[in-house]
Chains A and B, each alone.
Chain A
Amino acid sequence: MISENLSDTILYFIELLLGGLTRGSIYALIALGYTMVYGIIELINFAHGEIYMLGAFTALIISGIMTMHGYAGMSVFFTAMLVAVLYSSAYGYTLEKIAYKPLRNAPRLSPLISAIGMSIFLQNYVMLAQTSDFMPFPSLLPEFECLALIDYMIGGPELIILITTVFVMICLTFLIKYTRIGKAMRATAQDKKMAMLVGIDINRMISATFVIGSALAAIAGVLIATHVGQINFYIGFIAGIKAFTAAVLGGIGSIPGAVLGGLILGLTESFATGYVSSDYEDVFAFALLVLILIVRPSGLIGRTEMQKV
């Protein structure tokens, strides 16, 4: 009896852990966009959550069209994901060109207001162009047969979310650390003027940052939409706020920080719900944020701003 209780407790813990990791991965994917943009131009891109929402909507449209033409299974998922990533990246690129580039030398508050404006614009644009209703999102990810025994703990879509996130993180780290473009991006982030002097096209680097961040947000949008099964024009707002919190928690500007922040936030929410009450889910998440910021004002892995005179 005791051992049964014990294994029950452990199982419950594992379930909460996996649930928290799944949610945290989504936060991390979105948080990366915030943190990369902040790292390079010190702007909090409040329209980032909307890019996530646009990714989900694009995937919905593509998968709808493909299902109508008789395609099914993983091919729909991959095509929808690919188109969503391309489309959202284009949005991210355009967003930067329209809303932020003209304000690059303006006071820091101006691009921030511009970002909030773009966020409101994109939300309303999707609401008017698509619908204000909740739309059903098809389950593009299969439930694996081999998971049937443990799918009460972790289902196919959750596993795919985790694997995708890990894969994307590895690719991103590789890109930033070892490729030419990654090195150029890091140089731009450290010192724009100096980077320009050594021949780096900083406008291109900033655009690249927006494109990569938007692509990650679109991946997150498609993954969570197919997992949860519904979207509307407003989903980007809450996800965006949470991801922003995660980015700050981990130290805004730091890429491993965003991942760590996202995972910590997801796990905190999951355990707070599981062991205390979901009424206090947000209370715990934000209390943790406050605590960490008191102890480490620049976030968990945040760098202190030394380069500014």
Chain B
Amino acid sequence: MNYIVKIFEILLIPVFFGGYAMADTINLGVAGAHSGDLASYGLPSVNAAELVVNDTNAKGGVLGKKVNIWAEDDACKPELATNTATRLISKGVHVVMGHICSGATKAALGIYKDMNIVTMSPSATNPDLTQSGNYPNFYRTIASDDAQARLEVNFALRTLNIKKIAVIHDKGDYGKGLAEYARKFIASSGIAKVVLYEGITPGAVDYSAVIRKIKRSRAGAVIFGGYHPEASKLVSGMRKKRMDTIFISDDGVKDDTFIKVAKKYAEGVYATGPKDVSTNPLTIKATADHKKKYGKDPGAFFLNAYSATQALLNAIEKAGTTQYEALKKALQNEFVETPLGKIRFDKNGDAEGVGFSMYQVKNGKYIEVKK
């Protein structure tokens, strides 16, 4: 028995002593899926962190200290993520960029919260992470799953002043999920109501009965969750029946095929879509740097991870310390220039101005609606 304990102790010593971070560096933890099926989501974030940290260190680091990266793998599994978090904490990280998957992020967040470590995910989209209020240490540089529905509802209610809305979806995971959020937001807004909530069958011969129902409900606008084939059938059917009901949809419809198929009937249709950041000079630089260093195009969530790393380092610089409360304040008040635009965070932890914009079809093209 004693032997076994001894052997374990000997094995453990290098783990505990070998990995301790130096006190005069800023330690950035990078957690996520770096192996396994979902490694393609996690590895780009490590590259992004390396690029930002190299740039920062070349300019003299943060608060005069060098920045160090500690990358840890959670394979996107919640049960591994808690270990990952503990390992990072034992290495003395000051802030964490990660995790990648919502489930793993949720599992790890409690541990970071107890240790007062600010965590910023480039890719966890579960709405609860920010909206539940359980994780005040959590921030993210990606829009949450309900962001499109929120934008659609806000646009209909506040910009267009519509009081009666019909919510239609295609019964699919994506469309129905979105429609559920939209219905919830309209109901809780208190200034408008859902007059019709229906699912339609994709690929059905026509939608004339649903269109008549929308007409009868006297809705001012239709919010549709789904993809463009059904959307174009609905819109052309409505316009042929001389209904001028406003049509608002999602990025499944913000597709040029929609305009190609619905043609003149597509005019005036609103759809949310990801913000176009491809012309941002920082995006161009980040992508070019990645190509130079790794010899290929960056993968998923690269820009989000790049922005998250920049936001974290910027917050430490502006706060002048790695202390938790000061960091939170800096994240919420100080703007930072990133490939995703000039961002700061709201009190829930979502990045303001990141994610989706409203577009409208004008003269056969989707044009961003400027408020």
Contacts and interface: CB of A to CB of B under 8 A. Distances in A.
A95 B198 CA distance: 40
B261 A229 contact: yes
Nearest to B233: A228
Interface in B193-209: 198-201, 203-206, 208-209
A16 B212 contact: yes
B233 A155 contact: no
Contacts of A229: 232-233, 236, 261-263
A83 to B, nearest CB: 23
B229 interface: yes
A240 to B, nearest CB: 11
A20 B210 CA distance: 11
Nearest to A157: B240
Interface residues of A, number: 40
Interface in A123-174: 133-136, 143, 151-152, 155, 158
Contact of A278 (B209, B228, B240): B209
A273 B200 CA distance: 9
Contacts of B240: 143, 155
A64 interface: no
B212 A274 contact: yes
Most buried by B among A133, A229, A239: A229
Contacts of B261: 134-136, 229-230
A158 B241 CA distance: 11
A151 B240 CA distance: 9
A95 to B, nearest CB: 23
Given A12-B216, A229-B233, A151 B241 contact: yes
Given A136-B260, A136-B261, A155-B241, A227 B201 contact: no
Interface residues on B, range: 20 to 34
Interface string B147-187: 00000000000000000000000010000000000000000
Contacts of A27: 205
Contact of A273 (B171, B210, B262): B210
A269 interface: yes
B329 interface: no
Interface in A170-228: 224, 227-228
Most buried by A among B200, B206, B260: B206
A23 B237 CA distance: 14
A92 B232 CA distance: 31
Interface string B105-123: 0000000000000000000
B213 A26 contact: no
A72 B116 CA distance: 72
B203 A238 contact: yes
B263 A274 contact: no
A282 B201 contact: yes
Contact of B171 (A12, A134, A238, A279): A279
Contact of B206 (A228, A234, A271, A279): A228
A130 B280 CA distance: 38
Nearest to A266: B205
Contacts of B292: none
A235 interface: yes
A233 to B, nearest CB: 12
A22 B262 CA distance: 21
A151 B208 CA distance: 13
Contact of A23 (B171, B208, B242): B208
Contacts of B236: 228-229
Contacts of B208: 19, 22-23, 158, 270
A279 B179 CA distance: 14
A27 B204 CA distance: 12
A136 B266 CA distance: 12
A48 interface: no
B235 to A, nearest CB: 10
B35 interface: no
B205 A238 contact: yes
Contacts of A282: 201
B230 to A, nearest CB: 10
B86 interface: no
Nearest to A232: B229
A230 B228 CA distance: 11
B257 interface: yes
A152 B211 CA distance: 11
Given A228-B233, A229-B233, A229-B236, A273 B206 contact: no
A42 interface: no
A270 B232 CA distance: 20
Contacts of A151: 241-242
Interface string B218-237: 00000000001100110011
A274 B213 contact: yes
Given A16-B209, A152-B215, A278-B201, 11 more contacts: A15-B212, A19-B206, A134-B232, A135-B261, A136-B261, A143-B240, A228-B206, A242-B205, A278-B198, A278-B199, A278-B200
4 closest A-B pairs (Cβ-Cβ)? A273-B209, A19-B208, A279-B199, A136-B261
19 contacts: A16-B212, A19-B209, A135-B261, A136-B260, A152-B241, A224-B205, A224-B206, A228-B233, A229-B233, A229-B263, A230-B233, A237-B203, A238-B205, A273-B209, A274-B209, A277-B198, A278-B198, A278-B201, A278-B209
